[in-house]
Amino acid sequence: MSVVARNRVRISGAPQGRPMLFAHGFGCDQAMWRHVAPAFETDHRVVLFDHVGSGGSDLSAYDPVRYGSLRGYADDVVEICRELDLTDVVLVGHSVSAMIGVLAVRAAPELFGALVMVGPSPRYVDDGDYTGGFSRADIAGLLDSLDANHLGWSAAMAPVIMGNPGQPELAEELTNSFCRTDPDIARQFARVTFLSDNRADLAGVAVPTLVLQCSEDAIAPEVVGRYVHAQVPGSTFVQLAATGHCPHLSAPDETVAAIRGWLSVPAGRTRA
Amino acid sequence: MDDASRREPVELTRLLEDDPADLYENAPCGYLSMLPGGRIVKVNRTFVEWSGRTAEELLGASFPDLLTVGGRVFHETHVAPLLRMQGAVREIALDLELPDGTALPCLVNAVELRDDAGAPLLVRATLFETTSRRRYERALLAAQRAAAEAEARSRGLHQAVSELAAAVSVHDVAATLVERGRAAVGAVGGAVWLLPAETPAGRRAGRRPGRLVAQSGISPALRSQLERLGGWGARLVRPGGVRVVPLGPDLERAEPGLAAVMAAERVDALVLVPVAAEGRPRGLLLLVRPADGDGELISLTEPGTAADLAAADAELLRTLGRQAGQALERVWLYEETARQAARSAFLLDAARLMAAAAGVTETVERLAVLAVPRLADLCVIDLLTEHGWTRPAARHADPARQHLADRLREVHLPTSGGAHPSVQAADSGRTVWVREVSEGWMTRIAQDERHLAVVRELELAGLVAVPLMAEGRLMGVLTLGAGRQRGSFTAADVEVAEQLALQVSQVVDKAQRLELETRTSHTLQANLLPPAPPPVPGLQVAVRYVAASQGADVGGDFYDVVPLPADGTVALAVGDVVGHDITAAAVMGQLRSVHRVLLADRPSPSAIIDRFQAGWALLGLQRMATALFGSLDPATGQLRLSSAGHLSPLLVTAEGAEYLDVRPSRMLGAPPAPAPAAEWAGVLPVGATLVLFTDGLVESRSADIDEGLAALRAVALAHLGAGPDELCDRLLSELTGSHRADDVALLALARV
């Protein structure tokens, strides 16, 4: 099946504009970008997609081995760019997708021109001197939390929830629909998200990189953002006033402004 | 209508008209209002009570901070985004973290209030305590997962059992065990060591060397650590069930080398599963558990606190070990039957080979080739000859290791009194069976450092040395070695080796006797032939005698050239006694002696034949013979010839070559002829050469005598003018090959 259908790729904006690819994080789907992506449609070719296993992606494409590490997701990002014949892409990744972006840029540096990392963390679990913000027990608690919230999942509803091409409006009506998925996939994605360690990959990012750091982010604290900034060569660090982990929803204007501001300076506009 | 029912509407009305504030504060659920960022701006009393905090503490606090870490992450990744995107969330399970550290499970519904532009103003949430419901749900989920795991285990075991049932080799069984064992506990690697099928009684299980039969996913470094621990990690194995050896202080103290490799390879624990049948240990399955069960992801287990194996997993592995043990018993039985058939076939082939044998050396060489790899990996045959020990054969099954067998021929030979099994077998006259090859043993039996190096490199698992005896006489030793892959020899293998040694002994004995007889015959014959003829004025004489090439054959061919001093003539004789053995040689010697005695009377050639015929009975000779006698006067060339059933000589002149028409009378020893022997008389011209010969020169298995005679004449024609010596050499080289079935006597005389 095509990559476009597999990842429910949505393209909008200026066809000749510099491509911007928005990658959602753990939890919901591409709808997370609803207040940010449109702001770039005037001068960018905007590409949204769902990670396999999330939102309206093709659940049957979920392969526990391929998606057993972030590399599988990064390969998907590269495949989307190749399928759409995108180059000089501005890859905007939120949360875990910031790390997926790091891996994608490393795997196919020729495709990407800039990387925007929103609330990144290369490793959530504390490790010696490194502070990730979480203990192993915390992550185990998170997995329990996911279990508790997936009891309402019904396999019979899955086709409806995962999007029916003929009746998109049906999916929209369902409660919590943007963040629902198969519990086993969600659990595995949570494991891959919170139990990966990509610190060693940061130094290999060879495109201009922007680190967007929220205030009072319970998931990716400032110390982690600073760490990422220190490790990615030549990266720019921007502290947002927005609180929480999802500035693109809680403070879309500030988020757009930060990205636009960075893209407009030479380092972010052109390839390294 | 009674009083009570009349009062009821009044109280109901009062309750229903209650203060809305009271309804809010004391509602049977928690209410709270917060700003879009999560800051609490209003809470009801119910929530305050549940939260275990005061209203003052709660107001201004961040709602996500009241949640467990898991709940906080879920709030950030799911609840907050959903509120923004769809304005409401329903039935979200979140746990409040109470000040005493306990969690209060709640279900949360929330709505986001927005201004006209859609910007968020406030979030209102209701919370319902769901402690017992959550407990029930957890139990349900746990049961569901346990059922799924049990089903997966059962499926895995079922598949393993059917694969084991289909296994037809020990390797199949071991490979199945490794793969199923790995799958059962998510191990990154596994290996199976097996004990020999036949184990000597009275030895402790933990001490016997095992054989690594199958492995996957085990690094060379880890494997060498395990090998070091007694072949198959024997020191880690204790009787009993499945054991987990975690990487931790205990292991670091006891086995620092192993612990270091495990740490470097992020191995968390080794799982040891006994392979047993009917309670008898058969081997060991070793599984390597990674620091986390999930490839490159961070383990949820704290480092150094390897989680124990789940009881059900341990039970599954124990069952797998038992099933594999039983499959091994069956496969061993099957393989033993197949081996028995192979042994019988091998002995039959060996018997055929030896029946067709030529010489001792060739026989043992071919036998060694046959023995590897069908019976052993290494075959060495030592023979005791009159010159001492020799090692005519040393073969290795693996061409890459043949050089080691060759080196054995250089660096080691049995010498009396050593500890080497071949020496012990030779000294004691009994089979020596070495069931276990250890470093100590190798050091003990090695002759010197060079020998020890070769023995080590051979990597043998077992050895058997069988003396070669015939009629109580030691003739040599057959030594067979089994490589580690093959494993030590079984009693049945040893029996085959002994049967083979018996066959070899008989062949060697027979061949040695035959060789002795051959050598004796040839020595005798050489002594019976005359020395080189004396120089005769006017003549050039060349003689040749070539023995048959095969086996113990010895001929009764002879020649003689005797100058007679009285009249200057020369007596000639060429003959051939029937048979190829020592008797023929003896008869030939007697004939030559009698011929010389007869020459004292200077009889004519035909008279010599007549006298032999007349006195044959008196001589008491047991064999008949053909012979050609002649007399030649070198001065005049006068030549007289007479034949007793012998081939006519060839006369070679400058013009050509032709056989003289000497009419043969009966063979010497045949019933007496009615008439005296005929005689040919003529002249041998100056420059001509007379060639006298026996049938060995012109007869062969592939050509009849007429062809041989024609060939002889052709060779002579091709070399007209050659002297007698050169002519003899040409004839021999062109008419006889390296394989001569018969002796050849050749006499050439040229008048000069």
Closest CB from B82, B105, B295 relative to A69? B295
Task: Give the DSSP H/E element, type plus range, for residue A228.
Answer: helix A222-231
Closest-CA residue of chain B to A32: B81
Mutate to test the interface with B, among A95, A179, A189 (most CBs of B within 10 A): A179
How do residues B181-233 score in pLDDT, each as one tens digit?
Answer: 998 888 889 998 887 765 444 444 445 557 788 888 888 888 888 777 655 54
Closest CB from B38, B70, B89 relative to A142? B70
Task: Identify which has the larger pLDDT, A54 or A48.
Answer: A48
User: What's residue B129's pLDDT?
Assistant: 93
From chain A residues 60-99, the ones with a CB under 8 A of any chain B CB are 68-69, 95
CA atoms of B568 and B552, how far apart (whole Å): 41
Q: What contacts 24+ positions apart, CB below 8 Å, involve B57-61? A: B58/B32
Distance from CA of B90 to the nearest CA of A (A): 7
Closest CB from A139, A178, A219 relative to B82? A178
Mean pLDDT of chain B: 85
Under an 8 A CB cutoff, do B93 and A145 touch? yes
- Supply the DSSP symbol for B236: G
Task: Identify which has the larger pLDDT, B509 or A253.
Answer: A253
Under an 8 A CB cutoff, do A196 and B298 touch? yes
A240 part of contact set with chain B, CB < 8 Å: no
Mean pLDDT for the stretch of residues B15-43: 88
What amino acid occupies position B105? P
CA atoms of B126 and A25, how far apart (whole Å): 27
Closest CB from B69, B90, B297 relative to A134? B69
**Catalytic positions of A:** 95, 217, 245
User: What's residue B728's pLDDT?
Assistant: 92
How do residues B379-395 score in pLDDT, each as one tens digit?
Answer: 999 888 877 888 888 89
Q: For residue B295, list chain A residues with Cβ-Cβ distance below 8 A.
A: 68-69
CA atoms of B569 and B541, how far apart (whole Å): 14
Under an 8 A CB cutoff, do B299 and A26 touch? no
B76 part of contact set with chain A, CB < 8 Å: yes
How do residues B275-290 score in pLDDT, each as one tens digit?
Answer: 888 878 888 888 988 8
Q: How confident is residue A164, by pLDDT bands cut at 50, 70 and 90? A: very low
Q: Give buried/exposed letters for B152-182 (b at 16+ CB in 10 A, else e).
A: ebeebbeebbebbeebeebebbbbbbbbbbb
pLDDT of residue A267 exceeding 70: no
pLDDT of residue A111 exceeding 60: yes
Residue with tokens 């030895």, as numbered in its chain: B203
CA atoms of B247 and B343, how far apart (whole Å): 48
A179: its two tokens: 């963040």
Contact B669, B624 (CB under 8 A): yes
Closest CB from A139, A175, A245 relative to B76? A245
Mean pLDDT for the stretch of residues B122-146: 91
Task: Give the DSSP H/E element, type plus range, for residue B122.
Answer: strand B120-129
Distance from CA of B136 to the nearest CA of A (A): 11
Closest CB from B81, B89, B298 relative to A195? B298
User: What's residue B506's pLDDT?
Assistant: 84
Q: For residue B105, list chain A residues with Cβ-Cβ distance below 8 A.
A: 148
pLDDT of residue B294 exceeding 80: no
CB proximity list for B340: less than 8 A, separation 6 or greater? B492
CB proximity list for B87: less than 8 A, separation 6 or greater? B111, B112, B114
Q: For residue A192, list chain B residues with Cβ-Cβ distance below 8 A.
A: 297
How do residues B427-468 score in pLDDT, each as one tens digit?
Answer: 888 999 998 888 888 888 888 888 888 888 888 889 999 999
Under an 8 A CB cutoff, do B90 and A175 touch? yes
Tell me the CA end-to-end span of chain B in Å, nearest whole number: 176
Radius of gyration of chain A (CA): 17
Q: Which of A44-48, A67-71, B79-83, B503-507 has the highest mean pLDDT?
A: A44-48
CB proximity list for B696: less than 8 A, separation 6 or greater? B546, B548, B555, B557, B576, B736, B740, B741, B742, B743, B744, B745
Q: Residue B472: exposed, middle, or buried by beta-carbon count in 10 A (0-12, 13-18, 19+)? A: exposed
User: What's residue A163's pLDDT?
Assistant: 44
Under an 8 A CB cutoff, do B85 and A175 touch? no
User: What's residue B699's pLDDT?
Assistant: 82
Task: Identify which has the larger pLDDT, B333 or A252.
Answer: A252
User: What's residue B721's pLDDT?
Assistant: 83
Domains defined along chain B, listed by start: 15-129 (3.30.450.20), 155-292+309-335 (3.30.450.40), 357-510 (3.30.450.40), 529-751 (3.60.40.10)
What amino acid occupies position B640? R
DSSP track, A234-255 = T-EEEEEEEESS-HHHH-HHHH
Closest C-alpha to B751, from B648, B639, B663: B639
Under an 8 A CB cutoff, do A148 and B134 touch? yes
B166: its two tokens: 């289909």
Under an 8 A CB cutoff, do A28 and B81 touch? yes
A20: its two tokens: 């911007």
Provide the ipTM.
Answer: 0.90
Closest C-alpha to B731, from B642, B657, B625: B657
Task: Identify which has the larger pLDDT, B300 or B8.
Answer: B300
Residue with tokens 């290369």, as numbered in its chain: A122
Report angle CA B529, B535, B540 to the nearest 5 degrees.
95
Residue with tokens 């002519």, as numbered in its chain: B727
CATH architecture of A3-122+198-263: 3-Layer(aba) Sandwich (3.40)
Q: For residue B299, list chain A residues with Cβ-Cβ distance below 8 A.
A: 136, 195
Of A102-116, B116-130, B475-489, B520-534, the poorest mean pLDDT is in B520-534
Closest C-alpha to B86, from B107, B63, B111, B108: B111
Under an 8 A CB cutoff, do A141 and B78 touch? no
At how many degrees (to 10) do helices B360-374 and B491-528 cross?
A: 170
User: What's residue B234's pLDDT?
Assistant: 54
Mutate to test the interface with B, among A144, A243, A254 (most CBs of B within 10 A): A144
Distance from CA of A203 to the nearest CA of B (A): 19
Task: Identify which has the larger pLDDT, A152 or A197.
Answer: A197
CA atoms of A100 and A98, how far apart (whole Å): 5
pLDDT of residue B656 exceeding 70: yes
A40 part of contact set with chain B, CB < 8 Å: no
Distance from CA of A7 to the nearest CA of B (A): 20
User: What's residue A168's pLDDT?
Assistant: 46
From chain B residues 296-315, the ones with a CB under 8 A of any chain A CB are 296-302
Q: For residue A134, list chain B residues with Cβ-Cβ distance below 8 A.
A: 69
What amino acid occupies position B41? V
CA atoms of B294 and B264, how far apart (whole Å): 17
Under an 8 A CB cutoff, do A28 and B62 touch? no
Backbone angles phi, psi at B57, to 5 degrees: -65, -35
| No. of helices (H) and no. of strands (E), chain B | 22, 26
Closest-CA residue of chain A to B95: A145
B78 part of contact set with chain A, CB < 8 Å: yes
Residue ranges per domain, chain A? 3-122+198-263
B641: its two tokens: 């010839």
Task: Identify which has the larger pLDDT, B153 or B237.
Answer: B153
Closest-CA residue of chain B to A193: B297
From chain A residues 142-181, the ones with a CB under 8 A of any chain B CB are 142-149, 151-152, 175-179
Backbone angles phi, psi at B383, to 5 degrees: -120, 140
pLDDT of residue B4 exceeding 70: no
Three-state secondary-structure class, residue B84: helix
Task: Give the DSSP H/E element, type plus range, for residue B644.
Answer: strand B638-644
DSSP track, A118-136 = ES--S--B-BTTB--SB-H
Contact A212, A118 (CB under 8 A): yes
CA atoms of A237 and A120, how far apart (whole Å): 11
Task: Give the DSSP H/E element, type plus range, for residue B20.
Answer: helix B20-25
CA atoms of A267 and A253, how far apart (whole Å): 22
Task: Give the DSSP H/E element, type plus range, for residue B327.
Answer: helix B311-355
B74 part of contact set with chain A, CB < 8 Å: yes
Under an 8 A CB cutoff, do A27 and B71 touch? no
Under an 8 A CB cutoff, do B90 and A136 touch? no
β-strands A89-94, A18-23 pairing: parallel
Q: For residue B71, list chain A residues with Cβ-Cβ distance below 8 A.
A: 141, 145
- Please tell me the pTM assigned to this model: 0.57
